[in-house]
């Protein structure tokens, strides 16, 4: 039951029903009423008060979580990307509707959600997936509040499990070389994809979105300004990059020449425009993001590189550059992180420690100043 009962006297009880947060102050609001009688009388009065308040705000006490989803989800899915529609739809179908579908909206409490999250964690679901479930539930319940179907969203006080972020585990250069050698002999097209991934640190969705017009053969660079998403039955969909950032990235001279040679071959076939990684001879249709993943796993297994994932090439590019002393801002630009702080936070362990170098630099400056002062006879030298 929504609300609480507190004894005020021998036969007096205070009823308290939450009304949500005050939009001006951000504080929780409550409706309070005092009644007299037994504990059972107070419980009955609280149920009547809840119903009264719900009706006063246009609530439907018979409304269930399923009826909310049936009204909200068809509208919400139009705003989302195909990948998000697929992910959220799965969350609703597999977890939220089976657990909460027939429950009355006003009956669902934060503790119910906490119990659901704990049960799913015990069943082996990852904390990340449970946090996605919480995110979907939060959007749904927030809509119920905006539609005056609820006074407050129970998700506001529910606590999904914390994600313990794992440190990146980049592959060794020898493993990357072994993977590329295997690809060169077995799947030359995939070799080019992997070489670009290792050289640029780009995401798979960004690499499959590359067009020949993005390559500057003279400057030896490429521009990343878009990505490809799965199109939910409508084919690959072009969208902006994950962070919305666009960047121009220098690439290795040898890789530029390989791209130039491939472009000349495509030109001879009348396919000099369009996508570099394509599913048709004209270059009009890009690969799905899953395509390189499937081909990568086959090559990885052939090379005997267990535990090596495609996204690890992004970690490889970042950590090799940072370990070599390339400044964080440059690495962040190549990875298209919105802020260098994001790169530093993610890869701090791979930034070389230069404390001794810093001490030497400052010491040189101070020693220079002391020498100048001594030369002017203005101070006694400190040994």
The structure tokens 């362990």 sit at 349
The predicted pLDDT at position 18 comes to: 83
Token duo for residue 26: 């951000």
More confident residue, 147 or 243: 147
Following DSSP, what letter does each residue of 314-377 receive, concatenated?
HHHHHHHHHHTT--HHHHHHHHT-SSHHHHHHHHGGGSPP-HHHHHHHHHHHHHHHHHHHHHTT
Q: Over 90: is that where the pLDDT of 255 sits? A: yes
Evaluate if residue 155 carries a pLDDT over 50.
yes
In this predicted structure, which of 156-170, 259-273, 352-366 has the lowest mean pLDDT? 352-366
How many residues does the structure list for the chain? 383
Q: Does residue 136 carry a pLDDT above 90?
A: yes
Per-residue pLDDT reduced to its tens digit, 193-240: 999 999 999 999 999 999 999 999 999 999 999 998 876 555 678 888
Rounded Cα distance, 211 and 274, in Å: 5
Dihedral sign computed on CA atoms, order 276, 279, 284, 290: negative
3-state secondary structure 36-104: ECCHHHHHHHHHHHHHHHHHHCCCCCCCEHHHHHHHHHHHHHHHCCHHHHHHHHHHHHHHHHHHHCCCE
pLDDT of residue 380: 45
CATH fold group of domain 173-349: hpI Integrase; Chain A (1.10.443)
Q: Choose the weakest-confidence range: 57-61, 64-68, 292-296, 300-304.
A: 57-61
What angle do the packed helices 188-200 and 290-303 form, to 10 degrees?
A: 100
pLDDT tens column, 270-281 = 777 889 998 887
pLDDT for 381: 43
Q: What is the pLDDT of residue 59?
A: 57
The rounded distance, in Å, linking the Cα atoms of 38 and 113 is 32
Asked if residue 154 has pLDDT above 70, the reply is: yes
pTM: 0.65
Distances (CA, A) of 239 to 175, 236, 243, 247, 338: 32, 10, 11, 15, 17
The confidence band for 246, taking pLDDT boundaries of 50, 70 and 90, is confident
pLDDT digits (tens, 9 = 90+) for 322-343: 888 899 999 998 888 888 888 8
Q: Is the pLDDT of residue 22 over 70?
A: no
Q: Check residue 106 and give its pLDDT.
A: 80
Q: How far apart are the first and last CA of the chain?
A: 79
Q: For residue range 59-105, what is the model confidence (pLDDT) as tens digits? A: 565 689 999 999 999 999 988 877 788 889 999 999 999 999 999 88
Q: Which of 287, 155, 267 is nearest to 217 (CA)?
A: 267
Does residue 56 have a pLDDT over 60?
Answer: no
Rounded Cα distance between 336 and 363, Å, is 37
The pLDDT confidence band at residue 295, using thresholds 50, 70 and 90, is very high
Instruction: Please write the tens of the pLDDT for every residue from 164-202.
Output: 777 788 899 999 999 999 999 999 999 999 999 999 999
Question: Please, what is the average pLDDT of the chain?
Answer: 85
How far apart CA 30 and CA 379 sit, in angstroms, is 73
Can you tell me the distance from the alpha carbon of 27 to that of 70, in angstroms, rounded to the nearest whole number?
31
Distance of CA 233 to CAs 50, 81, 88, 108, 205, Å? 46, 13, 16, 35, 17
Q: Are 297 and 306 in contact (CB under 8 A)?
A: no
CA distance 155 to 346: 29
Residue 236 half-sphere exposure toward CB, CA atoms < 13 A: 20
Q: State residue 369's pLDDT score.
A: 57
**CATH class label, 65-157:** mainly alpha
């Amino acid at each position: 039951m929504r609300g609480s009962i507190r004894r005020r006297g021998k036969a007096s009880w205070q009823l308290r029903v939450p009304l949500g947060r005050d939009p001006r102050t951000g504080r929780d609001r409550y409706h309070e009423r005092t009644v007299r009688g037994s504990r059972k009388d107070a419980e009955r009065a609280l149920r009547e008060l809840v119903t009264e308040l719900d009706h006063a705000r246009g609530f439907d006490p018979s409304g269930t979580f399923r009826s909310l989803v049936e009204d909200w989800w068809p509208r919400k899915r139009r705003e989302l990307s195909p990948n998000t529609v697929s992910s959220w739809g799965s969350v609703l179908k597999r977890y939220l509707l089976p657990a909460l579908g027939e429950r009355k909206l006003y009956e669902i409490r934060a503790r119910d959600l906490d119990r659901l999250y704990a049960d799913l964690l015990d069943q082996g679901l990852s904390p990340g997936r449970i946090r996605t479930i919480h995110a979907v539930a939060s959007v749904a319940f927030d809509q119920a509040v905006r539609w005056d179907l609820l006074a407050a969203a129970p998700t506001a006080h529910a606590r999904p499990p914390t994600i313990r972020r794992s440190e990146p585990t980049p592959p060794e250069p020898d493993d990357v070389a072994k993977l590329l050698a295997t690809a060169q002999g077995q799947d030359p097209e995939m070799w080019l994809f992997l070489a670009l991934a290792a050289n640029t640190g780009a995401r798979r969705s960004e690499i499959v979105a590359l067009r020949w017009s993005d390559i500057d053969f003279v400057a030896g660079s490429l521009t990343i300004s878009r990505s490809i998403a799965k199109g939910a039955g409508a084919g690959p969909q072009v969208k902006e990059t994950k962070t919305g950032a666009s960047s121009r990235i220098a690439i290795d001279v040898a890789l530029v020449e390989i791209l130039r040679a491939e472009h000349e071959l495509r030109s001879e076939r009348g396919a000099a425009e369009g996508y570099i990684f394509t599913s048709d001879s004209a270059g009009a249709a890009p690969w799905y993001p899953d395509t390189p993943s499937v081909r990568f796993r086959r090559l990885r297994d052939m090379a005997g590189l267990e535990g090596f994932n495609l996204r690890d090439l992004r970690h490889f590019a970042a950590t090799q550059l940072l370990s070599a002393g390339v400044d964080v801002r440059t690495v962040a630009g190549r990875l298209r992180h919105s802020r260098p702080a994001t790169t530093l936070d993610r890869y701090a362990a791979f930034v070389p420690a230069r404390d001794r170098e810093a001490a030497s630099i400052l010491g040189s400056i101070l020693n220079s100043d002391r020498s100048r002062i001594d030369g002017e006879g203005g101070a006694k030298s400190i040994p």
